[in-house]
Structure 1
């Protein structure tokens, strides 16, 4: 591969206590893709983690941006893309620390976006055992459920809209500016659902490139919002999945559609809790507490105007 293939591309990763994953997944990609820029936004966890990530970035020639506060996934991505834009990059690969993708697979995604700059594209994402983790998802507009696109045949006639997982996305600068990046209102989970919605509203398209594959190590981070059934989840997983379903409804639905989502919220919250397995409730009530607080805060959410500019955190360290 030549430098010119990746000369326009920056990989943007938001780190939160995931230095080992960056070394495992991001390092091989950056070393095998000459001309590729890498921007790591570090949502501060502790000084030891900060030092390790900063040292790794310096060694690999990555740009390292330290956020003094936790900006969440979408907020961190907005900061990273803003820095990549400052550096003249015009295509952005948004990548989770626990997602791995080879350079030739990135090239396939980049080819799609170069030909269709108003398309947001994702690869097929596999688990380490080769089974499918993500190959497209639909949002069901009647009740706010999300299901894999391959299950459409089971729900004929349902009103749906497609969305792509934020675990691995490639987007052009033109489309990013048109949609305004991620909303800061979500912090974690559902921001990728709304980004997909914004793309469609702006006249763009969302697509899964079946010829490109990435791998997702389940449980590595809390960044994607997708987990296997029965796997233990974090407090944040329950809280933000429950809350942000209601946030999405408040931001993007009107009238009876919004009211229908709200009426279905308790059932939806229980479904989120059940993803972690019901046995967990025998030892801890934290999932119920998180979901209850998510419902409370989701119902209380009120849409406010969002900032139109992104401020890169003061005290940024730049390497590379």
Structure 2
């Protein structure tokens, strides 16, 4: 007699266990296994994580280094599998999703293990943070909304999504090369190439308090604007990882469009923290963005030296599903 699939919620922590605990709280006392991956930040934080996890029955993964979001999530997904859970909900520590919405997401995956599904993500003030987005494969630019042209591909935000844990591992999980930013775009493209399907349940909601974690500690925190603009990690990895994505996933005959759009993209990333921050704090803003762009160009150069045809397949755009699930992303 077939067994009922067991779900796990996976949260990656870095220096903000109080937020991670709040994210896991709705799942206490339920059938859900709660997995917390504590990327190393300090001995004091590790002690707090172990104490909270022991008191509340979390499954803890305790790496001795800061793995970054993607590799940390992969470690949590593997721990979920080891605990007998094949339905995984990955959740940012500064995000919250109700149990009803979480159950609906994993029910979709239980019915179709080719599905990677996310809810709509709102800000605490009720604004839209993610309701679907697309990547233009010809120019390397992202925008809100579903795919609108032949060169657009959808992708799903890593802030909150559900998928089969075993299938996530089979497609390679997140890529640890990214560390922060663009790893969810990369996973989405590889997921669809492997025959999977992306969806957004716009009738379900997750609340994302962007910047709720300590500045510089998680990818959400690094996206937070301060009086000095975005963090250096934000500027570096957003510029670098766009070109790393191209090296890994975009046909070489399309690299020209990505390169031509790179100066405008770097400028756009810089201005997300405000023009004043760029002028007043260039070592924190302009310099990391230029370093990230240079590192991304190095990734393209290295990929060009690989054997012909390597990393050369273009993603196939997905079409819309009209039955309440929208194929698309952030």
Same fold by TM-score greater than 0.5: yes
Which residue number in structure 1 is paired with residue 315 of structure 2? none
Q: 2:80 aligns with which of 61, 81, 84?
A: 84
Shift of 1:103: 0.5
Relative distance call for 1:11 and 1:171 in structure 2 (3 A) is same
Relative distance call for 1:172 and 1:224 in structure 2 (3 A) is farther
Relative distance call for 1:228 and 1:208 in structure 2 (3 A) is farther
Say whether 1:200 aligns with 2:199: no
Q: Deviations over 1:45-90 (max 9, x none)?
A: 1111111111111111001121111111111111111111111111
Unaligned runs of 5+ in 2: 311-330
Relative distance call for 1:69 and 1:170 in structure 2 (3 A) is same
Shift of 1:256: 2.6
- Supply the distance in 2 between the matched residues of 1:264 and 1:210 (Cα, whole angstroms): 31
Is contact 1:219-1:227 (8 Å) kept? Answer: yes
Q: Tell me, what secondary structure is at the counterpart of 1:125?
A: strand
Q: 2:124 aligns with which of 125, 128, 152?
A: 128
Shift of 1:225: 9.2
Which residue number in structure 2 is paired with residue 256 of structure 1? 253
The count of residues paired between Structure 1 and Structure 2 equals 295
Q: Tell me, what secondary structure is at the counterpart of 1:142?
A: coil
- Supply the distance in 2 between the matched residues of 1:132 and 1:43 (Cα, whole angstroms): 29
Say whether 1:292 aligns with 2:290: yes
Listed as ranges, the matches of 1:192-271 within 5 Å are 192-221=184-213, 222-223=218-219, 232-271=229-268
- Supply the distance in 2 between the matched residues of 1:60 and 1:229 (Cα, whole angstroms): 33
- Supply the distance in 2 between the matched residues of 1:225 and 1:140 (Cα, whole angstroms): 26
Say whether 1:60 aligns with 2:29: no
Relative distance call for 1:282 and 1:255 in structure 2 (3 A) is closer
Say whether 1:182 aligns with 2:179: no
Q: Deviations over 1:144-189 (max 9, x none)?
A: 1111116x6xxx6462100011000100134213312111111111
Q: Tell me, what secondary structure is at the counterpart of 1:69?
A: coil
Is contact 2:134-2:144 (8 Å) kept? Answer: yes
Q: 2:109 aligns with which of 113, 128, 137?
A: 113
Relative distance call for 1:225 and 1:198 in structure 2 (3 A) is farther
Q: Tell me, what secondary structure is at the counterpart of 1:269?
A: helix
Shift of 1:11: 0.9
Say whether 1:51 aligns with 2:53: no
Shift of 1:274: 0.9
Relative distance call for 1:157 and 1:82 in structure 2 (3 A) is closer
- Supply the distance in 2 between the matched residues of 1:60 and 1:145 (Cα, whole angstroms): 43
Which residue number in structure 2 is paired with residue 9 of structure 1? 7
Q: 1:149 aligns with which of 134, 145, 163?
A: 145
